[in-house]
Amino acid sequence: MTDTTGTSVEVRLPSRLGFEKVAMATAASVARLKGFSDERIEDLKTAVAEACINAIEHGNHLNENLSVGIILSTSADELEVKVLDNGSGISKQPPKPDIDRKVHGEEDPRGMGMFLIQALVDEAEWVHDSKGKGSYVRLVIRLDKENA
Amino acid sequence: MQAETKTTIDRTSGSNGASISVLRFSGDISSTSKESVLGAWQTVNGTGPVLLDFSKVEYINSSGIALIIQMLMEADKTGQRVAAFGLTPHFQKVFTMVGISKYAGLFKDEPTASASL
């Protein structure tokens, strides 16, 4: 395992669906260097993908002139991923998806992204830049959860 | 960047000899997969039990999950039973988290999934 403590990796993606895979691969590489298990790396990949898709679709409205920033930072026992876009962020958390309502046509079948992010990482927060320069989602996975 | 979704349609038999349709997906299941996924479903809609084969799927995101839920909506309307197999352990966990496992049994392999129908 490589000592990654205190390191930071940055990636910029065009706001085009599909490029979230670049962020997934980068996050997986850093998490692997940090010593996370395959199961946690898969969790992180899905959370990062959903955060990037939200940034591309809802933050930057698929405007390819805008980019999505990914900043991966490590400390002794955790990996933090920030996904930044030019949008105004979310005003409130959507309700938890209800599969019965979805299957019976009472709720949009979409709208699982934020739920998955929250379910798959140890910490997730959506932050609006008070200077109006965009927003970001911050995800954290912790090594101590590996043995939980 | 996104791998094209390909769907092939097979037939197999359940443990009681009844015919089962099998939708075999490959590539990614994402927002660009609507025609491939829901188009394939239309060919089996109302025909009896259906197996969903994910063993050659590389990537599924929330838009892809929404397409799978749309198949389950159609199955619910016609009373068709659905089972899935070939998911990685991670996507078995994700499908269970979002509740898909309530409407489609998740199995390790095709024989086990077929036997459930």
CA distance B102 to B88: 18
pLDDT of residue B87: 98
- Are the Cβ atoms of B61 and A18 closer than 8 angstroms? no
* Topology at the third CATH level for domain A8-147: Heat Shock Protein 90 (3.30.565)
Residue B1 lies in a domain: no
SS3 B24: strand
Q: Residue A109 is nearest to which of B31, B61, B66, comparing CB atoms?
A: B66
What residues make up the domain containing B36?
6-116
Q: How many domains does one find in chain B?
A: 1
At B45, which CATH number? 3.30.750.24
What tens digit of pLDDT does each residue of B62-76 get?
999 999 999 999 999
Give per-residue pLDDT as tens, A44-54: 999 999 999 99
Q: Residue A130: is its pLDDT beyond 90?
A: no
CA distance B112 to B100: 18
Q: E strand or H helix at B84, and its extent?
A: strand B82-85
| The model's pTM | 0.94
Query: Quick check: is B46 in a domain?
Result: yes
Render pLDDT for B14-59 as a digit per residue (tens, 0 to 9).
878 889 999 999 999 999 999 999 999 999 999 999 999 999 999 9
What DSSP string describes A64-124? TTSEEEEEEEE-SSEEEEEEEESS---SSPPPPP-HHHHHTTSS-S---HHHHHHHHSSEE
**Model confidence band, residue A5 (pLDDT cutoffs 50, 70, 90):** confident
Using an 8 Å CB-CB cutoff, list chain A residues near B59.
21, 49
A66 touching chain B per CB within 8 A: no
At A16, the pLDDT band (50, 70, 90 cuts) reads very high
pLDDT band per the 50, 70, 90 thresholds, residue A88: confident
Q: Please give the pLDDT value at position B103.
A: 97
Tell me the C-alpha distance between B59 and B61, whole Å: 7
Put simply, the answer to whether B2 touches A112 (Cβ < 8 Å) is no
Q: Spell out the domain ranges in chain A.
A: 8-147
Q: Do A99 and B31 touch (CB under 8 A)?
A: no
pLDDT above 70 (res A145): no
Which DSSP symbol is given to A148? -
The complex's ipTM works out to 0.93
Q: Which helix (H) or strand (E) holds B11?
A: strand B6-13
Q: Nearest chain A Cα to B2, which residue?
A: A18
How would DSSP label each residue in B43-80? Answer: HHTTSS-EEEEEEEEEEE-HHHHHHHHHHHHHHHHHT-
A72–chain B nearest CA distance, Å = 21
pLDDT at A105: 95
- DSSP class of B3: P
Does residue B14 fall inside a structural domain? yes
Cross-strand partners of B29: B60
